Structure 1
Amino acid sequence: MRINNEFGYIEIAPDVIAGIAGYAASSCFGVKGMTVRSVADGVAHLLRRENMSRGVKITEASDGGINIDLHIAVDHGINIASVCRSIISEVRYHVEQLTGIDVKNIDIYVESIKAD
């Protein structure tokens, strides 16, 4: 993602934005962590802290912003709609504040519900 200003440009790698979004999402109440689907068995696997960006997909929007897809696992017994609203708010705030890039759309995919 490239941001132009009067002095030149700033280029931010999609992995950096994905890391910010993954950290913000996983720090929300009710979120167990980021997930990724296994190609072999189709099962969602919980990712460790160092691999959080694998559960995030960043695409550039046609009008200059970005779209974010998050794949998450949530705790059993929580209100999924409330957690998703909280995640959208937190991810949008952190990404826009830290990068200056406008977040157009955030899609959340709840891949699994974990009970402990």
Structure 2
Amino acid sequence: MDSIMIKLQTDKGEVLISSDVFTNITGAAATNCFGVKGMAFRSMTDGLVHLLRRESMAKGVHVTYHEDNSVSIELHIIIDHGVNITALCRSIISEVRYIVNKTTGVEVKSVDVFIDSMVIG
């Protein structure tokens, strides 16, 4: 998979940020929210949703780069049973937007959260 780079111009020079950086930052921010079991990935072979390990959680994140150097983020997650889904999604959107902007300086246009599964216990 080719790594896409986003280019930022600062007063001290140019900064290139790879898509791997965005997916890792985003995945970590989302999974640190209370009620998130982890990132999800739907297998094309069996159609099942799988809980991703920390080292491969980037598969549950899709980043779209815009020409104005902003990004839109799509997250696929697995949540714990019994959490307030609306409150959880608001928390994830706020946290991801804040962490990505704070860490990279890139504006986040949108964060879409897809709950692919819920686990009990």
TM-score, normalising length: structure 1: 0.96
Structure 1 gaps, min length 5? none
Q: Do structure 1's residue 32 and structure 2's residue 40 form an aligned pair?
A: no
2:103 aligns to what SS in structure 1?
Answer: helix
What's the counterpart of residue 103 of structure 1? 108
| % same residue | 48
Moved more, 23-32 or 7-16: 7-16
State the one-letter code of the partner of 2:69.
G
The alignment yields a C-alpha RMSD, in angstroms, of: 1.0
List alignment gaps of at least 5 residues for structure 2: 1-5
Aligned residues: 116
| Structure 1 partner of 2:75 | 70
Residue 10 of structure 1 is matched in structure 2 by: 15
- The alpha-carbon deviation at position 71 of structure 1 amounts to 0.3
Post-superposition offset of 1:62: 4.1
1:85 aligns with: 90
Residue of structure 2 aligned with 1:41, choices 32, 43, 46:
46
Give 1:65's aligned amino acid: S
For the residue of structure 2 that corresponds to 1:12, the secondary structure is strand
Letter in 1 for 2:20: D
For normalisation by structure 2, the TM-score amounts to: 0.92
